[in-house]
Amino acid sequence: MKAAYPGEAMVHTTDIQSDQDARSNSLWRSPVSIAYDQMMKILVVEDDSQTSAYIARGLREKGHVVDLAENGRDGLFLATEAHHDVLVIDRMLPGMDGLSIVKALRAAEIATPVLFLTTLGNIDDRVEGLEAGADDYLVKPFAFSELNARINALTRRPLQNATGTALKVGDLELDFLKRVVQRGGKKIDLQPQEFRLLEFLMRHVDQVVTRTMLLENVWDFHFDPQTNIVETNISRLRSKVDKGFDRELIHTIRGAGYALRSSD
């Protein structure tokens, strides 16, 4: 959420956004998009039409198919009747709240990944949502790039690069049991945090991971530190993993986050 992301866009439920065309060009265009996004069918359950239009537009520009529901009942109906790859559900909805939808879905053994949208950064909400069966949560206002990265991270595709206890991306190999990392046969010494950071990046190979996702998953920080912890550690990791090699694996995606790429 900081100044480090000049391309970042925020949305708020009560925001006034009048002239969407004027800014559209710079919003969805390339820096955020990454070639590896798969086409997905996504259901967005959100009662605020401006927010849902904003989300739908962004996702469609990424090449996804988007279904919209304005209230909880329609949302649950659509989620049960049709297949979706990811469900994006607002916590507060008329008719039936997001928590109830997720509980109903999980009770019906529908395991579609769910991303919750919550209004307040309330830790209670997060825990409650995850306990009800949601897979991730995002606090409004959020940047579209954040939402997009999280939706991509949620898609349950099998890890292509995992063999036994090791993850492999190009000539980079990480054994998460032996806790050994090597690139091109050369061993790389990593601090525990750097190891966790690399492991997370490798598990999400060819996906954009945001700063917030890294803070939550690598450091278990569910708040916004004012110091560039992520940047500092990424640059350290880079100097160990990429320095002296022809091809850079760790890429900075302007206005969105980072990605470990298997190929250029």
Q: Which residues pair with 41 in a beta bridge?
A: 65
Count, residues near other proteins per rule CB under 8 A: 35
Which residue lies nearer to other proteins by CB, 4 or 82?
A: 4
Q: Partners of 174 in the beta sheet?
A: 167, 181
- Binder to other proteins among 21, 124, 189, 246 (CB under 8 A)? 124
For helices 229-241 and 211-218, angle between their N-to-C axes, nearest 10 degrees? 90
Instruction: Work out whether 53 is an interface residue with other proteins (CB under 8 A).
Output: no
CB of 208 to other proteins, least distance (A): 19
Amino acid (1-letter code) at residue 104? A
Laid out side by side, the sheet with 180-183 consists of 162-163, 166-169, 172-175, 180-183, 186-188
CB of 178 to other proteins, least distance (A): 21
To other proteins, the closest distance from the beta carbon of 84 in angstroms equals 30
Cβ atoms 8, 141 nearer than 8 A:
no
| Distance of closest approach, residue 259 Cβ to other proteins, in angstroms | 21
**85: which 2 tokens?**
């790859």
With binding defined as CB under 8 A, does residue 31 bind other proteins?
no
Closest CB 215 distance from other proteins, rounded Å: 9
- Binding test (CB under 8 A) with other proteins, winner from 63, 232, 239, 247: 232
Determine if 189 is a binding residue for other proteins (CB under 8 A).
no
DSSP states along 31-80: GG--TTPPP-EEEEE-S-HHHHHHHHHHHHHTT-EEEEESSHHHHHHHHH
Asked if 217 is part of the footprint of other proteins (rule: CB under 8 A), the reply reads no
Torsion, CA 192, CA 157, CA 144, CA 221, rounded to 10? -30
Indicate whether 158 belongs to the interface with other proteins (CB under 8 A): no
Interaction pattern, residues 78-107, with other proteins; x per rule: CB under 8 A = ------------------------------
Tell me which residues in 128-147 interact with other proteins (CB under 8 A).
139, 141
Q: Does residue 31 have a cis peptide bond before it, meaning omega lies within 30 degrees of 0? A: no
Residues of the shown chain interacting with other proteins in the complex, contacts defined by CB under 8 A: 1-3, 6-10, 12, 23, 26, 120-124, 127, 139, 141, 192-193, 219-229, 232-233, 236
